[in-house]
Amino acid sequence: MRSDDPSVSRRTLVGGAGLGLVTAASTAAAQATPQLTAAPFQDPTTKYPRPPFQRQSQPWPGLAGKMDPRPDHGEKSYKGSGRLKGRKALITGGDSGMGRAAAIAFAREGADVAINYYPTEEPDAREVMALIKAEGRVGLAIPGDLRHEAFCEDLVAKAVQGLGGLDIVVSNAGRQQTHASILDISTEQFDWTMKTNIYAPFWIIKAALPHLNPGSSIIATTSEQAYDPSAELYDYAQTKAATTNFVKSLAKQLGPKGIRVNGVAPGPIWTALQVSGGATQEKLQMFGGQTPLGRPGQPAELGSIYVQLAASDASYANGQVYGAAGGAGQP
């Protein structure tokens, strides 16, 4: 082709102009869109502390802030992307453990969050409130004892009023105490576990239902104990089997109304539950070491599961139980 060919010159100019427009558009798009980068590639076996751990004990219900090492709830690692923007969530046991991980993740995904906790857990709860409010979200702290029906009803009412509605209910609070024998469990202790782990979700969900619209989500924290119970967790394991069943039953009941019900089944997770009577000192020292990953999980490793179950793009997940047990658990 000759350089003085008019058609060639025109094509070259048009092509060059087109390329310039594409380049300009790409540059503008890149500048307008926040650049998200993937988390560093890590070996899951060495990502977090491994046993042996030092002996440690706290009065029930324990504080995450006093644990050694401190649990990771995603305080520094969780990055949101607006998946729950505008949602209103109530999380029981939201001061530490999986509840805290869910509260942090929800807030960073754009949700307003109310947490419930036992009054002695106030120091942990204050930390969670600060993290929620740092995201520019509404955060409500509602302490109280879930063993009382009147409080559970009041909890929901305060959450609805303070948040301006309710879309997500996370039933996470639980009591776990280790006992070598059924003979060591008093009726009072048995009743405490049942009231906290079974009655409270029943009361809270009943109170919340009139406020939940199609698209809302109920998420329960169950456990690998529902499928493979430990000998020393006789009462706790029963409650988690019941939780798993209420997830599946309620999902069938509420599914036609457009309300999804799912569960999360953690394995050995490093939380205050373990150091406040949930495990023996011997078990605590080697906690999580029996899993294929050789360590306990951290609450931060479950936060994204709660987000997924609450998000609208998981709209066909109903009556499901998502496990996270380092390769050792069921389901």
- Residues noted as catalytic: 236
Per-residue burial over 130-168, b if 16 or more Cβ lie within 10 Å, else e, is ebbeebebebbbbbbebbebebbeebbebbbebbeebbb
Location of structure tokens 């069943």: 245
SS3 330: coil
CA distance 264 to 91: 14
Residue where the block lists tokens 């776990």: 176
Residue pair 13/21 in contact by the 8 Å Cβ criterion: no
CA dihedral 48, 54, 60, 61 (to 10 degrees): -10
> How many other CB atoms sit within 10 Å of the CB of residue 57?
10
Cα(87)–Cα(133) distance, rounded to whole angstroms? 15
